[in-house]
């Protein structure tokens, strides 16, 4: 079985394609320490890589001038 498992919504099981959403598992999929997971659908174990991205936006403060 070969398919793309990259996702911005959660971890996709590489065995059965089940989507593991972070909010369904007490948000533990957001942890950078999470590296192995057991699929709740098929029971197979798989490796997880968590990628973190930061972004910012700014606005000027209003002055009293």
What is the reported pTM? 0.69
Contact 34, 11 (CB under 8 A): no
The two three-digit tokens of residue 49, written as one number: 């890589």
Predicted pLDDT at 4: 81
Q: Above 90 in pLDDT, residue 2?
A: no
Per-residue pLDDT tens digits for 5-59: 899 888 999 999 999 988 887 777 877 777 889 999 999 999 988 887 889 999 9
pLDDT value for 59? 93
pLDDT at site 14: 95
């Amino acid at each position: 079985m070969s398919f793309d498992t990259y996702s911005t919504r959660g971890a996709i099981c590489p065995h059965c394609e089940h989507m593991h959403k972070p909010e369904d598992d007490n948000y533990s999929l957001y942890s950078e320490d999470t590296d192995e997971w057991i699929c709740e659908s098929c029971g197979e174990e798989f490796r997880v890589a968590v990628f973190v991205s930061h972004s910012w936006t700014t606005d000027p403060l209003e002055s009293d001038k």
